Amino acid sequence: MTDHITTERLTLRRPDMADAAAIASLVGDLDVSRWLTRAPHPYGLSDAYEFVSAVQNGNGNTFVICAGSKLVGCIGTEGQLGYWLGKNHWGRGYASEACRAMVKRHFTQGHDELISGYFMENLASRHVLQKLGFVRTSQEQARCPATGDCHVLQRMVLTQSRWEDQA
């Protein structure tokens, strides 16, 4: 599989250590990390280095999202679809565009379904997933490491056949 995915406005590529400062800055914003199930707050440079190192040793399905040469977020399908964008890049359709590319990649790799989820208060993420065709499956309590708060996590699934029917 390719190390680069190009969409109309974005490039998804493998992260490298030179990306750590940008990742730390973007995820270090509590307005971003409060929606994530894995990122602590504060999120510093050492956290970003650990993240990049783990991605480099993973199965190759995590990418940074770039608009031009600027890193704006991250996306992956390591077990489930997960993504985030820096706050200054919200509301531009980048999440939907990047997610469409990753979902296509996921199903091209021969998988039958893809799971994801969102904290119930995160209406923007709900909208992205619903637009892609994800359907609700279950709810569970999940702790946000950035805030320590428990939230309802809405689990969702997208099957390959549903994805293909929408294409």
Whether CATH 3.40.50.720 fits 4-166? no
Residues in contact with 45: Cβ distance below 8 Å, sequence separation at least 6, in sequence order: 20, 21, 24
Q: Exposure string (b/e) for 90-108, b if CB count within 10 Å is 16 or more?
A: eeeebbebbbbbbbebbbe
Q: Within a 10 A sphere around the Cβ of 15, how many other Cβ atoms?
A: 21
Give the residue from 130, 128, 133, 136 showing the smallest Cα distance to 95.
Answer: 128
At 15 the pLDDT is 96
Q: How confident is the model over 9-66, as pLDDT tens digits? A: 999 999 999 999 999 999 999 999 999 999 999 999 999 999 999 999 987 899 999 9
- Global pTM reads 0.95
- Structure-token pair, residue 166: 């929408």
Length of the chain counted residue by residue: 167
Instruction: Give residue 97's pLDDT.
Output: 98
